Amino acid sequence: MLPLLGAALSGLLAFLAGIFEDSESNAGSASNPNSQVQLAPQIGHRHRYFNKAISGEPPANALWVTTAATVAVLLSVRLEAMGTLYSVILSSVIGALVSALLLGLYGILAHISRIASMRTFRQPLYWDAIFSALPLGISFGFLTAFSLTLLSFTAGMMLNNPFSVPLIALLLGITIGSIGSATGDIHYGAERLYQHYMFGSGIPIAKQGDIDIKGEYGYRNSVDTPYFTLRFGAMVTAFAFGLLIFLDSLSRVFDFAGVWTSVIVELGIILIIFIVTVRLEKYTRDKYGPFMR
């Protein structure tokens, strides 16, 4: 019963972490589409997007989550008298707070440096662009770190993963970063930043940097971005990461082939996903048809 409960809880936490991670990266233009935000002033678009790309999304998330998990592990030992559950939750909150502060510090310095490097192209540093978007990014960062720290504790304590909790957090941080950067970012990079282009086309390479800088109310800023991407991009990220953690945990709940059970179950799941992906490609080809030039 405990492994099944652990698998369900892991899946839920991973799903939530996926939503928060994608929203955090979109609020801060932290991943691949940041190149478009960075290009915009060079082709004459002065924007109010927050741009805090410091590194790839995977190492950045690994840093936030490992920081939170390390602080949480140290604190949970001190708070052991409160009982395991309460000590884990409280120490995870404090750990995530520390990592959110770190994210805020990096975020503000990275944004100012990024914008300062665009001085040649007369891109101003808008204070409102910092002070409206940064707290949102920090909040999503806090929630990501909190969810993943709890997920690391769940993997370590309920699913009996032999790695230490900070190492589980590091591995999960890199994995969620690469999934978030590979899935949810398409909705932000190809659709939100280019909303003035027709739906149903990739963005021509010659048009890159020509991002949409006007929003529903005046100039668009990075608070508007998660408002848009939460409806689809964040859900796709959550679907991928949540399902990965849930299915991987679930594959160890069964036992019909001894130690090979999880491998056989995962191979079956991979085959099903491959077939679904091929069917999806066929569906889109039939539905959209060849590109109308």
Partner 1 sequence: MEPVTAFFAIILGGVLVGICVHFIPASATGAMSAATGIATGPSMLSAGAGMAGLLSASYSIDSGLSVVLASGATASALMVALTILSGNIANAFGTGVPPASGQTASGQSITGKSTKDAISGWDQKPYISPGTDGHGMPVQTNFSGLIGAFIGGTGGALVLFAVYTLLVPILRQDAAFTISGFIAGGVFLINCVLPAYTLVGKTEGMFDQKIRKTPKTLVSCFIVSSVIAMIIYIAAVVIQ
Task: Give, as ranges, the residues between 63 and 122 that touch partner 1 (CB under 8 A).
Answer: none
Interface with partner 1 in residues 177-196 (CB under 8 A): 177-179, 181-191, 193-194
CB 181 within 8 A of CB 25: yes
CA distances from 203 to 46, 57, 191, 290 (A): 20, 22, 9, 16
- In this chain, which of 124, 204, 214, 254 binds partner 1, going by CB under 8 A? 204
Spatial contact of 112 and 78, defined as CB atoms under 8 Å apart? no
Quote the tokens at residue 272: 């099903």
**Cα distance between residue 30 and residue 226, in whole Å:** 12
Residue (130 or 159) nearer to partner 1, CB: 159
Closer residue to partner 1 in complex, CB, 139/178: 178
| Binding window for partner 1 (CB under 8 A); candidates: 43-51, 53-61, 118-126, 214-222 | 53-61
Mind giving me the DSSP string for 104-172?
A: HHHHHHHHHHHHHTTGGGT----HHHHHHHHHHHHHHHHHHHHHHHHHHHHHHHTS--SS-HHHHHHHH
Name the segment binding partner 1 (CB under 8 A); options: 71-79, 112-120, 142-150, 199-207.
199-207
Quick one: 58 or 137, whose CB is closer to partner 1?
Answer: 58
For helices 57-78 and 165-182, the axis angle rounded to 10 degrees is 150
List the beta bridge partners of residue 214.
Answer: 219
Q: Between residues 75 and 174, which has the closer beta carbon with respect to partner 1?
A: 174
Check binding of 132 to partner 1 (CB under 8 A).
no
Q: Which C-beta is closer to partner 1: that of 123 or that of 237?
A: 237
Contact 207, 189 (CB under 8 A): no
Of 130 and 144, which CB lies nearer to partner 1 in the complex structure?
Answer: 144
List 78, 119, 196, 207, residue binding partner 1 (CB under 8 A): 207
The interface with partner 1 within residues 25-44 (CB under 8 A) comprises 31-33, 35-36
In the complex with partner 1, the residue whose CB is nearer, 131 or 283, is 283
How far apart are CB 176 and partner 1 at their closest, in Å? Answer: 8
Q: Smallest distance, Å, CB 18 to partner 1?
A: 10
Strand pairing partners for 48?
A: 221
Q: Does residue 237 interact with partner 1 by CB under 8 A? A: yes
Binding to partner 1 in span 144-173, by CB under 8 A: 155, 159-164, 167-168, 170-172
Beta bridge partners of 219: 214
Considering the complex, what minimum distance in angstroms separates the CB of residue 64 from partner 1? Answer: 15
Q: How far is the CB of 233 from partner 1 (least distance, A)?
A: 6
Beta bridge pairs of residue 221 = 48
**Within the chain, how many helices (H) and strands (E) appear?**
10, 0
- C-beta of 37: minimal distance to partner 1 in Å? 12
